[in-house]
Structure 1
Amino acid sequence: MTTVMCMKLACMTECTRQGIACMLTRTVPYATVPSFQKQDLNRTMDLGLAEDHFSRPVGSFVASDIEQLKLAIEECKKLILELPEHSERQKDTVVKLIHLRLKLQELKDPEEDEPNLRILLEHRFSKEKSKSVKQTCDKCSTIIWGLIQTWYTCTGCYYRCHSKCMNLITKPCVRSKVSHQSEYELSICPEIGLDRQDYRCAECRTPISLRGVPSEARQCDYTGQYYCSTCHWNDTAIVPARVIHNWEFEPRKVCRSSMRYLALMLSRPVLRLKEINPLLFNFVEELVEIRKLRQDILLMKPYFITCKEAMEARLLLQLQDRQHFVENDDMYSLQDLIDISSGRLSCSLTEIHTTFAKHIKLDCERCQAKGFVCELCKEGDILFPFDSHTSVCHDCSAVFHRDCYYDNSTTCPRCARMTERKQDDISDVKEA
């Protein structure tokens, strides 16, 4: 019987109000009902199940209407248990029970005078206009019946809830945590144990246990703490600590608040890999490749910010989704690491690198004029600091062929000239 009720409930979620009303008009001819069921059918008719006696009239319902609905629902439950299992009459009665419950919910959750924007615990709740019934309330964990219920979504963390559940919310907006604390937990599942949590949910403080009595304890792989089934829906997410320390991208089960926090932090460049785990570059070749491309792009940036054509073409905006790539070469977001692992970032960044190099070396005469000639061999093409076969002097930024630079035992010619000029200026000052 439970399976039948669930099947009918799932069917109801895909119907419009007109469809529901149509379903509710299904009846079995009285003559075909066995004599032992006629008494039950008469009682059903008395409850107002054969016709829609609870359609909302003009004006407001009074308390007696709600009480009548509650009595009708209880009688309908009893009738379902008494009717033969899997019979058509039982199925129809289950559908009508759902209809009565929806009518009761409609009375308890009126839509009139609901504000379009509500602010609570740093959430900015916006009233939803969607009539979809496939959403779930994050507070009570039940379905949001969009056809008849008012519901809200936080524009910051996308927390969804019924209008009637808003005053029961205790979780502050996760986006505020992202703004105030943009740091990941970098220990892998730092479990502290249920006893340290006083055998209560880490968030709502509901009593929990591993045996499921009174409520099942579910561990969040990100925080390491235990949560109840209302705060932990077995959602999965990639955990930053496992990526940084193990280069592991398998999604793990996390609680609802951790899932939202990780989703909002996904594109924020807060991971300095060379400080957290510098050995990672020794074992992940793709990271070394990406680091070299990022270093080259930083060397190209001065050409673009002084080139009128590059500014007009907005070349640097090709990296607007990863703005940190034109600011430094050592900060990464979790999304960067995910894309590196999948190979997507290497392909896109290589393409951008090729476009930038083409502009500097081939398309723009002004950028070409800023190239270097190797002063050690004075041969070859014009050199640029981002070329793979070049080396750059750390003191004066002059560019040389890599082989010439490391084979030459003397100092950098440009540095030598600058030192000699400085000494001449000092001598002139002394003579004066």
Structure 2
Amino acid sequence: MEYDEKLAHFRQTRLNPFDRGEEEDQPEGGKATQQHEASSELFSETKTHSSDRTMDLGLAEDHFSRPVGSFVASDIEQLKLAIEECKKLILELPEHSERQKDTVVKLIHLRLKLQELKDPEEDEPNLRVILEHRFSKEKSKSVKQTCDKCSTIIWGLIQTWYTCTGCYYRCHSKCMNQITKPCVRSKVSHQSEYELSICPEIGLDRQDYRCAECRTPISLRGVPSEARQCDYTGQYYCSTCHWNDTAIIPARVIHNWEFEPRKVCRSSMRYLTLMMPRPVLKMKEINPLLFNFVEELVEIRKLRHDILLMKPYFITCKEAMEARLLLQLQDRQHFVENDDMYSLQDLIDISTGRLSCSLTEIHTTFAKHIKLDCERCQAKGFVCELCKEGDVLFPFDSHTSVCHECSAVFHRDCYYDHSTTCPRCARMTDRQQDEVEEEK
């Protein structure tokens, strides 16, 4: 009770910067005297500030001087009024003046306090699971993040927020119960395939003139909400679900070899981001004619084929296993498993020339180990049995050909001249016949 009486007396004698009437009625000397008396009576331990600084501090006196936990509903209304008055004062003060800068700072503090009262910080769990999202509580105080649900800034200083560890969906703690979209990573895990039709539009009428995700009414006229098309799905979305993000569209790459980013909705952007390193594109089946027009693809296919021929040498070589040569392709493990599956990231790197350079370097390293550095791998080479001349041959050499039946290696010219006969296959056939005769 004593605190409330002192606070009421202090408010009566304190100068209010928004009360223009009092400012005009009272003389300067009287105001300074009353301020000094009130300050010395209530806060004798604090130092006396200048009159201008005292006026500015008056903006927040009603909201920051109370004990913690004593806020009531009227405080929010008072803060709103103080914010509006602070805005007016900023416009009236001279531009770039010190008082205007101080008032702007005070306005920021008032807004933060208002947000804190509306959304008080509570003890939140560190991990929450909603619609297959695995949300982890963030400790970052950055204010540069945006909530994917309400499309407003996340004030990390005073708000609790979470990030999905699977699809990186970010949202306020208060928005989590309003999430209706399942985690995109679950779709990537269960349905790892792209939409291979270019912008398959179905029209707003088929969507009932509603957002394809949140079902908010939309139209091309922007009334009641703007309709934004996703170039990946071909559907229309509201501005909350479609932020005009851009991404490379897989269908346009495969059919047109086009890498220009197009506007996509938020869910499509997250899906394409997670799918980008996944080798799900079988180019031979989807668009085999592309190899006739893109020379870089042919070069990469040859390098990948050679690497698959080198793989048996490495998995049986102790030195190669200790050196972990195959781990040089750990970012593209599918390169040591097959030569016909591509990821969207592979195609992007092929178009920029980055993949050709890195893969050529790895190919050279692998060939050097087999042909020069390792005696065990050298011993697994072949001698052309057709001409029985020349150096030791390996299946990945550019001037060699490999028998499809027994995998023997020959000079390419020799193999074409004697394509009807393979000495190794002939010996194996004779051996089998001899075994059959012996059994009889």
Structure 1 contact 268–334 (Cα < 8 Å) conserved:
yes
Structure 1 contact 47–72 (Cα < 8 Å) conserved:
no
Alpha carbons of structure 1 residues 60 and 267: separation in structure 2 relative to 1, 3 Å: farther
- How far 1:410 moved relative to its partner? 3.8
- How far 1:56 moved relative to its partner? 6.8
Q: 1:164-202: CA deviations, max 9, x gaps? A: 111111111111111111110000000111111111110
Alpha carbons of structure 1 residues 178 and 44: separation in structure 2 relative to 1, 3 Å: farther
Alpha carbons of structure 1 residues 373 and 116: separation in structure 2 relative to 1, 3 Å: same
Structure 1 contact 126–154 (Cα < 8 Å) conserved:
yes
Q: Secondary structure at the match of 2:163?
A: strand
- How far 1:409 moved relative to its partner? 5.1
| Bigger mean CA offset, 182-191 vs 100-109 | 100-109
Which residues of structure 1 form unaligned runs of 5+? 1-7, 11-24
Structure 1 contact 216–229 (Cα < 8 Å) conserved:
yes
Q: Secondary structure at the match of 1:356?
A: helix
TM-score by length of 2: 0.83
- How far 1:389 moved relative to its partner? 0.2
Q: Secondary structure at the match of 2:345?
A: helix
Q: 1:102-126: CA deviations, max 9, x gaps? A: 2111122222311111111111111
- The number of residue pairs the alignment matches comes to 405
* RMSD over aligned Cα atoms: 5.2
Report the counterpart of residue 343 of structure 1 in structure 2.
Answer: 353
Match of 1:196 among 185, 192, 206: 206
Q: Distance in 1 between matches of 2:157 and 2:205?
A: 44
Alpha carbons of structure 1 residues 221 and 409: separation in structure 2 relative to 1, 3 Å: closer
Structure 1 contact 233–255 (Cα < 8 Å) conserved:
yes
Q: Distance in 2 between matches of 1:368 and 1:172?
A: 54
- How far 1:425 moved relative to its partner? 1.5
Q: Distance in 1 between matches of 2:293 and 2:15?
A: 70
Q: 1:344-363: CA deviations, max 9, x gaps? A: 10011001101111111111
Structure 2 contact 370–378 (Cα < 8 Å) conserved:
yes
Structure 1 contact 44–76 (Cα < 8 Å) conserved:
no
Percent of matched pairs sharing the same residue: 92
Alpha carbons of structure 1 residues 224 and 251: separation in structure 2 relative to 1, 3 Å: same
Structure 2 contact 63–79 (Cα < 8 Å) conserved:
no
Structure 2 contact 228–242 (Cα < 8 Å) conserved:
yes
Q: Distance in 2 between matches of 1:179 and 1:216?
A: 32
Q: Distance in 2 between matches of 1:89 and 1:226?
A: 48
Alpha carbons of structure 1 residues 359 and 86: separation in structure 2 relative to 1, 3 Å: closer
Structure 2 contact 283–341 (Cα < 8 Å) conserved:
yes
Q: Distance in 2 between matches of 1:82 and 1:363?
A: 81
Structure 1 contact 27–92 (Cα < 8 Å) conserved:
no
- How far 1:98 moved relative to its partner? 4.0
Structure 2 contact 16–58 (Cα < 8 Å) conserved:
no
- How far 1:129 moved relative to its partner? 1.0
Q: 1:401-425: CA deviations, max 9, x gaps? A: 0000001254111111111111111
Q: 1:262-305: CA deviations, max 9, x gaps? A: 00011000000000000000000000000000000000000110
- How far 1:320 moved relative to its partner? 0.5
Report the counterpart of residue 106 of structure 1 in structure 2.
Answer: 116
- How far 1:247 moved relative to its partner? 0.5
Q: 1:191-226: CA deviations, max 9, x gaps? A: 111111111110001111111111111100100000
Q: Distance in 2 between matches of 1:368 and 1:334?
A: 37
- How far 1:45 moved relative to its partner? 6.7
Structure 2 contact 201–234 (Cα < 8 Å) conserved:
yes
- How far 1:131 moved relative to its partner? 1.0
Q: Secondary structure at the match of 1:149?
A: coil
- How far 1:249 moved relative to its partner? 0.6
Q: Distance in 2 between matches of 1:221 and 1:36?
A: 63
Alpha carbons of structure 1 residues 9 and 173: separation in structure 2 relative to 1, 3 Å: farther
Which residues of structure 2 form unaligned runs of 5+? 1-5, 19-44
Structure 1 contact 40–79 (Cα < 8 Å) conserved:
no
Alpha carbons of structure 1 residues 50 and 305: separation in structure 2 relative to 1, 3 Å: closer
Alpha carbons of structure 1 residues 86 and 213: separation in structure 2 relative to 1, 3 Å: farther
Q: Distance in 1 between matches of 2:354 and 2:47?
A: 66
- How far 1:72 moved relative to its partner? 3.7
| Bigger mean CA offset, 385-394 vs 88-97 | 88-97
Q: 1:109-159: CA deviations, max 9, x gaps? A: 222311111111111111111111111111111111111111111111111
Q: 1:74-111: CA deviations, max 9, x gaps? A: 55567778999999988866654443222111122222
Alpha carbons of structure 1 residues 356 and 43: separation in structure 2 relative to 1, 3 Å: closer
Alpha carbons of structure 1 residues 359 and 38: separation in structure 2 relative to 1, 3 Å: closer
Q: Distance in 2 between matches of 1:227 and 1:26?
A: 54
| Bigger mean CA offset, 46-55 vs 215-224 | 46-55
Structure 2 contact 56–103 (Cα < 8 Å) conserved:
no
| Bigger mean CA offset, 386-395 vs 407-416 | 407-416
Report the counterpart of residue 79 of structure 1 in structure 2.
Answer: 89
- How far 1:51 moved relative to its partner? 4.3
Report the counterpart of residue 361 of structure 1 in structure 2.
Answer: 371
- How far 1:385 moved relative to its partner? 0.4
- How far 1:252 moved relative to its partner? 0.6
Structure 1 contact 44–50 (Cα < 8 Å) conserved:
no
- How far 1:46 moved relative to its partner? 11
Q: 1:229-280: CA deviations, max 9, x gaps? A: 0000000011100000000111111000000000001100000000000000
Structure 1 contact 124–154 (Cα < 8 Å) conserved:
yes
The alignment status of 1:418 with 2:418, answered yes or no, reads no
- How far 1:50 moved relative to its partner? 6.0
| Bigger mean CA offset, 371-380 vs 150-159 | 150-159
Alpha carbons of structure 1 residues 85 and 358: separation in structure 2 relative to 1, 3 Å: closer
Alpha carbons of structure 1 residues 86 and 369: separation in structure 2 relative to 1, 3 Å: closer
Q: Distance in 2 between matches of 1:9 and 1:182?
A: 66
Structure 1 contact 220–226 (Cα < 8 Å) conserved:
yes
